[in-house]
Amino acid sequence: MLARLAFALLLVHTAAAQQIAVERVEGQEMFALKSEAVTDLSGLVWMGDDDFMAVSDHPNALVPLTLKIDRATGRIASGEMGAAIPVAADASDFEGVTYVRATHTFYVSAETGSAVLRLGPDPTRVVRQPLPAVFAQARKNLSLEALTWNDTAQQFWIANEETLTPDGPLGAGTVGSLVRLQRFDAAFRPTAQYAWRAEPPAFRFRGAGNGVVDLCLLPNGRLLVLERGFGSAGLQMRIFLADFQNATDTTRLPALVGVEVTPAQKTLLFEMPSGFINFEGLALGPPLADGTRSLLVIADSNGGSTHAILPLRLRLPASPVVAERPPAKPRPVRRAK
C-alpha cells in the first residue's frame, strides 16, 4: 500500500514537472542593451509594468532598467538604462537582487562578505540580514551569487555558487560542486536548507568551474536554478527545476563530508552554450498574452558596454496558485546624494 502511494505521488510530481517548460522566444536570439555608464550587471528583478532593477557588482549599485516586452511574442522591443544608484555597504561584489512589493524593499546578495542586504526606498539605509553561520565559510569569489523572492509564494531563497569549505572539494572531473540552497520565510527567518549537486565542470578557469549563479522562485513555490560554467564551447548556462520531495534537510549539518545526504533532484528545462557571454542573472518578467510568463536571463558584461539579455518563455501548470497578484506600481527609488 505504501509503495503504491509513493509511486502515485511520484507520478503526480513528475507530471507537474513536465508541465513546467522553458522555451526560446521566436524571432529574437538576444537583446543587447548598450551603455558605458555602468558595467557588470549580475542580477535582475521585475518591478511591474516595464520597470526592472538590475544590480551591478562593479561598482556596488542598483541600476534601473526599462524593458518594453511585447506581451504577444515575449520579445524585448526596446530597453533603456537609468542612472546607477550607488549603495554603500560593508559587503561588496553585488550579485543577486530581488524586490518585495508590499514593503517597497530591495534585497541584494553580496559575494564578498557573504551577505544579504536589505535596502528600503532610500538605498543609503542598508541592513545586513542574519544568515546561517555556515555561509560565512564560503570560498573566495564562490559565495552568495543567488537570491530570489516571490510575492505569491512568500519565500526567499539564497545559494552559494560552489562548495563551502566544510562541505568538501570543489567540483572537478565527473563530480560537481555540492551547494546549499537556503529557504527563508517572509520575515527572512530560515525555514529549510537542502544540498544541490551542480553539474561537473568541463574544466576550471581562474578558480571557477560550474556553480549556481541565480535562483528564480515561481508563484507556485517551485524553484528554478540557474547554473553557469565551462563547457566544450566556452561558457554554458543551464536552467533546472528543483525537487525537494526526498531531499535531506541540511540545516543542522555543520559539514556535508562523511554524512549521508540526499541532494534535491533536478530536471533540466533549458541549456545553451553561450561562448564568451557570461549569463548569471535570472528573473520572471510580465505575463504574456497566451498565459506563459516572460523569463529573462541577464549577462555580466565583464567590463564591457554591451549588456546581453536573453528573452525566454516560461510555461506553468494551469492552477489558481500560479496567478500572481497584479503588481503594485513601485515607489520611486530615491537617489543617493
Residue 4 has pLDDT above 80, yes or no: no
pLDDT at position 18 is: 58
All cell numbers assigned to 63 = 541600476
Q: pLDDT category, 13, cuts 50, 70, 90?
A: very low
| Mean pLDDT score, 3-13 | 43
The secondary structure of residue 167, as a DSSP letter, is G
- The pLDDT tens digits of the residues spanning 71-116 come to 999 999 999 999 999 999 999 999 999 999 999 999 999 999 999 9
In angstroms, the first-to-last Cα distance of the chain is 66
Q: Average per-residue pLDDT in the chain?
A: 89
Q: pLDDT category, 2, cuts 50, 70, 90?
A: very low
- The pLDDT tens digits of the residues spanning 201-244 come to 988 888 889 999 999 999 999 999 999 998 777 899 999 999 99
- The pLDDT tens digits of the residues spanning 61-70 come to 999 999 999 9
Domains of the chain in sequence order: 2-322 (2.120.10)
pLDDT at position 27 is: 95
What's the predicted TM-score (pTM) here? 0.90
pLDDT at position 61 is: 94
Judge whether 315 and 74 are in contact, CB under 8 Å: no
Cα distance between residue 235 and residue 272, in whole Å? 9
Cα distance between residue 335 and residue 123, in whole Å? 7
Judge whether 42 and 59 are in contact, CB under 8 Å: no
- The pLDDT tens digits of the residues spanning 133-180 come to 999 999 999 999 999 999 999 999 999 999 999 999 999 999 999 999
The secondary structure of residue 136, as a DSSP letter, is G
pLDDT at position 14 is: 45
Residue 333 has pLDDT above 50, yes or no: no
Q: pLDDT category, 252, cuts 50, 70, 90?
A: very high
Q: Which of 24-28, 57-61, 97-101, 256-260 has the lowest mean pLDDT?
A: 57-61
